[in-house]
Amino acid sequence: MNLPDEALAALARSVGIDAQEIARRQAFLEFDETDASLLTQMHARLQDVSRRFVDDFYAHCIKFEETRRCIPDPQSLKRLKRAQTAYFDSLSAGDYGPERILRRLRAGGVHQRIGLEPKWYIGAYSKYLIGLLPELWRLLGDSPDKFLATYRALQKSVFLDMGLAFDTYIQADRHAILGLKRYAEDIIASLPVGLLVLDQALKVQSVNLSFREISGLKNGEDISGRELEHILPLSDLHQQAQAVLASGTALHGIDVALGEKRLRLTITGIRLAAENRLLVAVEDITEYKRAEEWQQHYTQTLDLFTADAPLGEVLEGFAAFAEQQCAGASCSIQLLSPDRKHLMHGAAPSLPEFYNRAIDGLEIGEDIGSCGTAAHTARTVIIEDALTHPYWAPYRELAIRAGLRACWSEPILSADNKVLGTFSLYYREPRTPTPEELKLIRQGARLAAVVIERARQQENLRLAAVVFEQGTEAVVITDAEQRILSVNHAFTQTTGYAPEEVIGQTPRILQSGRHDAAFYRAMWESIQATGRWQGDAWERKKTGEFYPKRLSISAVRGVQGEITHYVGSSVDITEQKAHVAHIEQLAFYDPLTGLPNRTLFMDRLKQVLAVAQRHGQRVAILFMDLNRFKEINDTQGHNVGDQVLIEVARRFQATTRGEETLARLGGDEFVVIAEEADQAAATLIAKRLQQALAEPIAAKGQTFTLGVSIGIAFHPEDGATIEDLLKRADIAMYRAKAFGGGHRFYQPEMSVGLAERMQLAKNLSRALNAGNLELHYQPQVNLKTGTLIGAEALLRWNDPERGWVSPAEFISIAEERGMIGALGKWLAGKACRQMKDWQEAGLNFPGRLAVNLAAQQLEEAGIAGKLQAIVRAAGLTPACLELELTESSLMRNVEQAIVVMEALKTAGFALAIDDFGTGYSSLTYLKRLPADKLKIDMSFVRDMLQDRNDYTIVATIIGMAHSLGLKALAEGAEQAEQAETLLALGCDEAQGYYFGHPETAEIFAQKWLRTGAAPE
């Protein structure tokens, strides 16, 4: 483990080691040329001594754990011996220049890195000097003076080296400590939550960058010592802070308004530098509240439509709401006229009436005011000052009279990007919008578009009902020779032909040319035989435009039964066909990516397999699952995840060819059907799909690197049915995922083990139904007192056929087979009944009994009520239980998890986040989770005494838990040293083999439970 030369040079500068310093140290030690000469004379004679000594020295080192861990293997031992021999030889080599100095600095740096403390290599120097005395006496005993002079020279050289090594070790250690300090400061500075530290007098001690940004403080402004109410002038805040100081109980979820901002505060007590302090966490929830208000207003708007409120009334309410959202603004909504040339008044609750009348009917066009230009260009128009901008020149006097200066106008666009009107905000002083205000304008325009289109759709439906009731279908009456005698108004509207243009003509004037002679021959044969025909046909309007219609033709017969007239009625079904196409799109295509969905995929695969079976062809199925997508979706949110899926689908689609069908089955699973494909062709397709994800994917301002795991199965050799093919392609995909991605072809041996897992699942089901599972109980202790504060109930299964089955094996099977809910219910019931049995036996169980709640249980409807019923059935209260939820299960759907946790919390259960540190928790979500405790995963506790990173992670989690007002429990404490270190770090509780193994209820009670009342 060598330090680079540039690092050594920097280290030498930081310690202050240069040629002058070395000369001073040598002078102080009185090390001079005479000493160097004496050592040089002995150099050759000590060569063999150094080698023998090194062998003895490392035999001695291996006896001690602290030095033995620096010698991991025989190769390292050989390397260390060579280096040590070279060093001892250098002590008498006569070369005491810069290169030797750098080697000693490097040695000190390496000692610090591997954790070899000075006390151990001081012993090395001591052993060397003591061991060398007999050899020097043997060589120089006949000259005692030279013996003493040489030994003194050797001591001086060794002490010089020791000083250099000590300086380097201390400096490197100081750098490591400063690095950790900077790391902690960087984390605090980068938190999105504002942090404010107060002393007991409620005066400011420090704030982070986020707090300055939220509260509007300048970066350089020193606010130390200022009163809390001067920084956050909020009513009751001072009293709330004093209450936290007095009680020590944190206050969470304090929602307040500071100017135009909405804030959420958390106040908690902390201890810094042996003194009590207050930590105020401030979160800016302005955007969240604003979005909530917009959603509420949108819901109210939909309610108005349901109640058949007029469009004008709905728009007036919407404009008034927009004005509430934008302080000082006047909102105006204008609608595009039917001729699409003018803007008509829609709503403007705060603008003067004379102004609304003046601009009603405003012509649209380039440079015609803010609204006229926005409607004409379909772009946002921002006018900072209407009195100086050229667009407003014709309306300047009107603006002065109305007291208006700024006008920002956004076009209201339909779903197909057609202008419906404008959404505008006016201000009485010149100004331009902030990014937040610009976002609000565009959001307002989008909601206005929904309102207008919804109103127009309802109006169209009402008109269609009137047309239908009055028989306004397009009607044509002809004579027996099919010459047109009469048409109605609906016909003219539909076809564009006026009555005088078609009377005397035949309906052939409407023919589109899309139907052949056979179509018309079948039509007339039906009319002649049955007197009527009904069906769909394409016709042509006067403009030449083709359109579909639903046509019904009836023959009118005279007294003698002869045909005298024909009556045709038709309906333009253009919209209906579009609607059917839209329904088909929804039914058969994935709404997010536009790819065929599972339904359409299964239908196409069925058809492809039928053709393949008839013609003896092969078909390849490529089953794909994205690597790392779940991590992105959990940590970045579903909006980002959706954008990633859209881009993945686009890239996959770009690689597929005509004979290949790409579909999305759901989540991050995609599949390709490749007709007439052999192994070589399937390999090429797989490589194209993998290459499609070679470049990172950009979404919402971030980039992500994804991979894909592909399983390939063939018809007919891997399966003749759809189910078999998909199952085996899925098995091959999981094999590919197990090897880190890429593609794998299905092989029969991949299915080995499935039967065993299925049998194990059957055995587990029988054991669950028969109640043959067991619970063992592991103690949880208070680290300060060592007393029992609770226990965790752990599920165990002794299968009659296989013996004890690992929970890691049967829990995963329960999750796969949908048994985890029933398993969790049994566990909770059994744990509650055992707690009640202990109580009735007079045994005192301090604290709560912890049980695990699986991820799938979080998704059960009414899980809080179900657990309450289980607890009450045992005669207990929810306060007796602590529910443990793994960090990874919470991140699957954080918002849903928060709702469920709040329901459990309200019911009275205590909540702990299990295996903390192994998932991908966002701090933003973590602070919202209503938990009581963080359980530090045993993987960090196990190696924290040897691994500095694990130690730092454990310390950070403990500090984070306390900052959030939570307790910290460490899992997997197996040694006394671990327990002592955890206590020193401030950890509250622990469990692990050091305190006790999981035991049966009887043994646990004998060891840990006592009779009598609970201790005070």
pLDDT bin (cut points 50, 70, 90) of residue 490 is confident
Residue 128 neighbours by CB under 8 Å, 6+ apart: 53, 57, 88, 158
pLDDT bin (cut points 50, 70, 90) of residue 281 is confident
Residue 68 neighbours by CB distance under 10 Å: 12
pLDDT over threshold 60, residue 177: no
What are 401-428's pLDDT values in tens digits?
999 999 999 999 998 889 999 999 999 9
Distances (CA, A) of 29 to 20, 260, 854: 14, 72, 69
Domain spanning 191-287: which superfamily? PAS domain (3.30.450.20)
pLDDT over threshold 90, residue 751: no
pLDDT bin (cut points 50, 70, 90) of residue 469 is very low
pLDDT bin (cut points 50, 70, 90) of residue 17 is confident
What H or E segment, with its residue span, contains residue 162? helix 144-190
pLDDT at position 331:
92
pLDDT at position 269:
83
The percentage of the chain sitting over the pLDDT mark of 70, rounded to a whole number, equals 82
**Greatest mean pLDDT range, 101-105, 116-120, 227-231, 784-788:** 784-788
Q: How far apart are CA 238 and CA 229, in angstroms?
A: 7
Domain spanning 472-579: which superfamily? PAS domain (3.30.450.20)
Residue 262 neighbours by CB distance under 10 Å: 18
pLDDT at position 257:
79
> Which CATH number applies to 591-746: 3.30.70.270, 3.10.20.600, 2.40.160.50, 1.10.10.10?
3.30.70.270
Q: How far apart are CA 198 and CA 40, in angstroms?
A: 66
**Greatest mean pLDDT range, 244-258, 348-362, 562-576:** 348-362
pLDDT at position 871:
94
Q: How far apart are CA 494 and CA 568, in angstroms?
A: 14
CA angle, corner 712, sides to 709 and 716, nearest 5?
165
For 583-606, what is the mean pLDDT? 83
For 9-29, what is the mean pLDDT? 73
pLDDT over threshold 60, residue 434: yes
The residue ranking higher by pLDDT, 47 or 668, is 668
pLDDT over threshold 50, residue 987: yes
C-alpha of 563 from chain center: 74
Distances (CA, A) of 378 to 341, 441, 454: 13, 14, 21
Across 57-61, 265-269, 449-453, least confident range: 57-61
**Greatest mean pLDDT range, 3-7, 309-313, 813-817:** 309-313
Type of residue found at 62: I
Q: How far apart are CA 340 and CA 519, in angstroms?
A: 41
Q: What letter does residue 917 receive in the DSSP assignment?
A: T
What is the full DSSP assignment across 715-731?
ETTT-SSHHHHHHHHHH
Closest C-alpha among 360, 347, 371, 377 to residue 422: 371
Residue 815 neighbours by CB distance under 10 Å: 15
The residue ranking higher by pLDDT, 837 or 143, is 837
CATH number of 5-186: 1.10.490.10
pLDDT at position 1014:
45
Which contacts of 649-655 are long-range, i.e. CB under 8 A and separated by 24 or more positions? 649/590, 649/592, 649/593, 649/594, 649/595, 650/593, 651/692, 651/693, 652/624, 652/689, 652/692, 653/595, 654/692, 655/685, 655/688, 655/689, 655/691, 655/692
Structure tokens at 695: 């470049």
Distances (CA, A) of 201 to 195, 238, 240, 276, 586: 17, 10, 13, 11, 63
Distances (CA, A) of 338 to 343, 361, 377, 419, 421: 10, 11, 18, 11, 11
Type of residue found at 519: F
pLDDT at position 113:
56
What is the full DSSP assignment across 86-142?
HHHHHTTSS--SHHHHHHHHHHHHHHHHHT--HHHHHHHHHHHHHHHHHHHHHHHTT
pLDDT over threshold 50, residue 1: no
pLDDT at position 1016:
36
**Average pLDDT, whole number, for the chain?**
82
Q: How far apart are CA 726 and CA 719, in angstroms?
A: 9
For 823-846, what is the mean pLDDT? 93
For 154-172, what is the mean pLDDT? 71
CA trace torsion 346, 347, 353, 355 (10° rounding)? -70
Work out the angle between the directed axes of helices 807-816 and 820-840 (0-180°, nearest 10). Answer: 130
Residues 739 and 634: beta-carbon distance below 8 Å: no
Phi, psi of 1003 (to 5 degrees): -65, -40
Q: How far apart are CA 223 and CA 201, in angstroms?
A: 15
Residue 168 neighbours by CB under 8 Å, 6+ apart: 11, 15, 104, 105, 107, 108, 109, 111, 112
What are 862-916's pLDDT values in tens digits?
889 999 999 999 999 999 999 998 877 777 677 888 888 999 999 999 999 888 8
pLDDT at position 24:
81
pLDDT bin (cut points 50, 70, 90) of residue 115 is low
Closest C-alpha among 147, 167, 144 to residue 155: 147
Phi, psi of 805 (to 5 degrees): -105, 130
Strands 742-745 and 707-715: parallel
pLDDT over threshold 60, residue 545: yes
What are 643-688's pLDDT values in tens digits?
999 999 999 999 998 889 999 988 889 999 999 999 999 999 999 9
Domain boundaries, the chain: 5-186, 191-287, 310-448, 472-579, 591-746, 767-1009
Asked whether this chain's domains 310-448 and 472-579 adopt the same fold, the reply is: yes
Structure tokens at 445: 């325009």
What is the full DSSP assignment across 763-820?
HHHHHHHHT--EEEEEEEEETTT--EEEEEEEEEEEETTTEEE-HHHHHHHHHHTT-H
Across 380-384, 792-796, 889-893, least confident range: 889-893
pTM over 0.85: no
What is the fold of 767-1009? TIM Barrel (3.20.20)
Structure tokens at 1014: 């609970």
3-class SS letters over 515-576: CCHHHHHHHHHHHHHHCEEEEEEEEECCCCCEEEEEEEEEEEECCCCCEEEEEEEEEECHHH
Give the strand order in the sheet containing 419-427.
362-363, 342-347, 330-336, 419-427, 406-413, 381-383
DSSP reduced 3-state for 868: helix
Tell the burial category of 181 from Cβ atoms under 10 Å away from its Cβ (0-12, 13-18, 19+).
Answer: exposed
Taken in order 320, 322, 325, 328, is the CA torsion positive or negative? negative
Strands 881-886 and 788-799: unpaired
Structure tokens at 580: 């059917």
pLDDT bin (cut points 50, 70, 90) of residue 4 is low
Q: What letter does residue 381 receive in the DSSP assignment?
A: E
> Which CATH number applies to 310-448: 3.40.50.620, 3.30.390.30, 3.30.450.40, 3.10.180.10?
3.30.450.40
Check whether the bond before 807 is cis (ω within 30° of 0): no
